Structure 1
Amino acid sequence: MAQPPVPRRVLGGFDATTVGIGSIIGAGAFVVFGPAAAAAGVLLPLAVVIAGFLAYCNATAAAVLAAAQAPPTGADASGREQLGWWAAAVAGWGLLTGRLAACAAAALTVGLHVAPGSERPVAVAAVVALLIVNRFGITRSVLVTRVVIALVLPVLAFVVVVGFASPAAAGSGAVTGPVGVGGVLQGAALALFAFAGYSRIARMGEEVREPHRNIPAVIVGALGVTTVLYLLLSVSLLEALGPLALAETTTPLRDLVGGAAGDGSDGVLDTVVRGAAVLAGLGALLGLITLVGRAGHGLVRNGDLPHALAQVPVRDSVGRDSVARNPLPWITDLVIAAVVVVLVLTTDVVTAISLASLGILVHSAVINIAALTLGGRRWYWPRWLNAVGAVGCVALALALPWPQVLAMLAVLAAGVLLHALGRQGGRGVDRAG
């Protein structure tokens, strides 16, 4: 299979940090705080901090593996070289499942903010429209990411100000949900969805000047800014809405600005928040569609999916090749669309977030374990971060609702079976290693 062109190193530290922040902040910021509050209650800020720290552990593990690639490919880490094909299969299926569920969550976020009560038809339309757009090679480039961050970040910051300026809600100190260790861990697992773009940072090594110096700074900077923003958002939402009301909504930012303006859902502030949520959701969905193809390609290489679904990797970040026609086989687009539409029609946004978080956690657990095996590490990426990351991923995954956990286990079992059959049948694009 032809190798992708090597992107030029065009990003400095500041630009890379901006892209990193833009990759993280997306649809999750507009919907995740309600479900997380239903689990963690008044301890929601603690859950956000835990999610942010675990995202940092996971990002450093992925960066360690990416730095060990020779030559670097920019592909998603699988741990195949360190742990073997079985670990790669588990990581790959977790990644693919998580990204498909994240597509559904992003689409439903758009629907919830365009037509509450009729969000599913709008979400399906968004999926189909962006798959067509992606078919013509229009992907989420650095330019798109900068536009999203330039328009969405100020809105989130403004919502924080509005929340702190609003009178405290009645019962703002009330307790809701299974508050305790289990509740906080479940809240952190759900909040992790809002950090999901951190994996993008680890793949920037080919595009960033002086990557050994800049990538660690970008990880710290992007996740630090995002964690502080989300922490402030969680505190302001708890104060302005109260944990009980926050736990019952899937559009908490709309509820906050609507209540602050005293004009329900028809005010200017509400329109601004809805517009930002739609932009973030569409931007996330556009990026995720490309990433689903990348994850599927990893499973094709592993022999877990038919070769007919193979992807020819293209540059998906700097965007120099974004005008080229999408080289994915058309059957891949149909499969992606079918799976995401089924998820949109059969789940709600909270379930989609849970499944997406589970996929992230399964994949990241394998990556952390794989990173533990590598030596020659720099001082700022100690092994204990990978150990904490692996344990944390398992703990947060087990804290999520058991129906979703069992569904993920079924997907992983099916993936392992497909892998076994593929190994016996000699399938797979690359059996080296």
Structure 2
Amino acid sequence: MSNPSKDPGALQRRLGVPDAVMIGLGSMIGAGIFAALAPAARAAGSGLLLGLAAAALVAYCNATSSARLAARYPASGGTYVYGRERLGEFWGYLAGWAFVVGKTASCAAMALTVGWYVWPDQAHAVAVAAVVALTAVNYAGIHKSAMLTRVIVAVVLAVLAAVVVASLTSGESDLARVGTGTDATIGGVLQAAGLLFFAFAGYARIATLGEEVRDPARTIPRAIPSALGITLVVYVAVAVAVLSVLGADGLADATAPLSEAVRAAGVEWLVPVVGGGAAVAALGSLLALILGVSRTTLAMARDRHLPHALSVIHPRFQVPHRAELVVGLVVAVVAATVDLRGAIGFSSFGVLVYYAVANAAAWTLTRGEGRPPRWIPVVGLAGCVVLAVSLPVSSVLAGAVVLAVGTAAYGARRVWATRS
């Protein structure tokens, strides 16, 4: 296999383990924890923590499979590359298509989240401004993106810590409200897990940056589980704290659950701080999402599944600048024209399809190639399929239509290439 770092058209390896972990944290500990708890509580009730555990188990399997594959194939594109190399061109294409479309919708949703928290009356205008600003940051180089992500992660962790402390130390806190999940249905728990998976899925960003990581065989397998483990601890603490104040029913009815939790705890001054933290978290997610989508776009453009002009690397900044500009433009247009508050389910469906392909690819690894324990890709693949079909019907139907469109486009391109 060729070494991408020696190719003049390749990206430079600048990221070590700390930077890669921070990018993963910036992708996961973002707006998802501020937004996904309420719809998950509506689905699972007192079984919210069971849904969180199921989402974490599937995420762990996906992360392990992705880490082993990324160490074997340290190139931009993530599962698009793994599926192509291990399963065939179509499966790589399907994974890349699901990722790009689903995460483009997520980018717009994160941008709109910034708008809703910063200036609700001008949410769309703020969203577009956020997309433009962060596209410019990514354009200036991956190292600058990693440094900004460190700042964002630090701010968001501080805000979440304040929510946990304020909730658990208030007189309104009652751990009996956390619940045992005995009254929850299996379908509700699985739907909650699918929705909460939205908040875990950012570890893919580390794998999609495989071409920009130093010593990927060592860095990626360390960075992905580290970022996932830290995220899980944070999410459990936040979920327990919010449930202890609001209960499952109160959380299900909340429009801004973390803000309402600190308000119910009697810490009114913390409400605007939490709102600001949510906006910063959404910015962090948006920064990392644009980064990941542009790298998958780069990989697909190299193989001419997308316009080949998008595969050009900037000679100075060493980034796929055309891909980043196009992704930024598409996200800005969507954020300016569409209300994507229902995008969590749609995004989760696309990402779960993406990881189903990753687990299938990991199954084909040999022991000498760093194959994970056999149960991991099996549980990961089955979990992805079960959670995907357990999502709200509208999300499943929309996702299926998008996959069908992508499959038709792939078939048309193959027919055209054969005739040419």
TM-score (normalised: structure 1): 0.84
Q: Which residue of 2 aligns with 1:431?
A: none
8 A Cα contact 1:369 1:386, kept in partner:
yes
1:321 corresponds in structure 2 to 317
Which of 397, 410, 424 is residue 388 of structure 2 equivalent to?
Answer: 397
Ranges in structure 1 where 5+ consecutive residues have no aligned partner: 428-433
Offset of 1:48 from its aligned partner?
Answer: 1.2
Give 1:245 shift. 1.9
Question: Which whole-Å CA distance do the structure 2 matches of 1:139 and 1:216 have between them?
Answer: 20
Counterpart position of 1:245? 250
How far off is 1:203 after superposition? 4.6
1:196-275 map, 5 Å: 196-203=201-208, 211-261=216-266, 263=268, 267=269, 269-275=270-276
3-state secondary structure, aligned to 1:426 = helix
Counterpart residue number, 1:312: 312
Distance 1:372 1:313, change over 3 A: farther
The alpha-carbon deviation at position 288 of structure 1 amounts to: 1.8
Report the 3-state secondary structure (helix = DSSP H, G, I; strand = E; otherwise coil) of the residue aligned with 2:311.
coil
Equivalent residue in structure 2 for 1:50, among 54, 57, 63: 54
> Of 170, 176, 184, which residue of structure 2 is paired with 1:179?
184
Question: After superposition, where does 1:66-215 map in structure 2 within 5 Å?
Answer: 66-69=70-73, 72-78=74-80, 79-116=83-120, 119-131=123-135, 134=138, 141-166=145-170, 167-168=172-173, 172=177, 179-203=184-208, 211-215=216-220
Which amino acid in the other structure matches residue 111 of structure 1?
G
Query: What corresponds to 2:277 in structure 1?
Result: 276
Q: Distance in 1 between matches of 2:106 and 2:144?
A: 16
Unmatched runs of 5 consecutive residues or more in structure 2: 1-6
Look up the equivalent residue of 2:10 and give its one-letter code: P
- CA separation in 2, counterparts of 1:297 and 1:370? 21
Match of 1:417 among 402, 405, 408: 408
SS at match of 2:312: coil
State the SS of the aligned residue for 2:147: helix
Q: Match for residue 3 of structure 2? A: none
Where does residue 340 of structure 2 map in the other structure? 347
Shift of 1:377: 5.2
Distance 2:165 2:325 in 1: 46
> How much does 1:154 deviate?
1.7
Change (3 A) 1:380 1:414: closer
The farther-off stretch of 392-401 and 16-25 is 16-25
1:140, 1:283 within 8 Å by CA — same for their partners in 2?
A: no
Of 24, 38, 63, the residue aligned with 2:42 is: 38
CA–CA distance in structure 2, aligned partners of residues 346 and 249 of structure 1: 19
Structure 1 residue 304: Cα displacement: 3.8
Indicate conservation of the 8 Å contact 2:106/2:343, yes or no.
yes
Equivalents in 2 of 1:208, 1:425: separation in Å? Answer: 37
Note the C-alpha offset of 1:57. Answer: 1.1
State the Cα distance separating 1:58 from its structure 2 match: 1.0
State the Cα distance separating 1:77 from its structure 2 match: 2.2
Query: What is the CA deviation profile of residues 304-334 of structure 1, one whole-angstrom value per residue up to 9, with x for unaligned ones?
Result: 43445x233579xxxx937x89344855543
Does residue 372 (structure 1) correspond to residue 363 (structure 2)? The answer is yes
- Post-superposition shift, 1:131? 4.2
AA matched with 2:95: A
- The answer to whether the 8 Å contact 1:23/1:198 transfers is yes
CA distance in 1, matches of 2:237, 2:45: 15
- Higher percent of residues as helix: 2
Task: Specify the code of the residue in structure 2 equivalent to 1:372.
Answer: W
Q: Deviations over 1:95-121 (max 9, x none)?
A: 012211211221122123223466444
Residue 307 and residue 218 in structure 1: after superposition, are their counterparts in 2 closer, same or farther (change >3 A)? closer
| Cα distance, 1:283 vs structure 2 | 2.1
Asked if structure 2 preserves the Cα contact closer than 8 Å seen for 1:311 and 1:329, the reply is no
Residues 303 and 423 of structure 1 are in contact (CA less than 8 Å); yes or no, is this contact kept in structure 2? no
> Is residue 345–residue 391 contact of structure 2 (8 Å, CA) maintained in 1?
yes
Is 1:3 the counterpart of 2:5 in the alignment?
Answer: no
Checking the alignment, whether the CA contact within 8 Å between 1:139 and 1:286 is kept in structure 2 is no
Amino acid in the other structure paired with 1:360:
V
- Determine the C-alpha separation between the residues in 2 that align with 1:329 and 1:118: 25
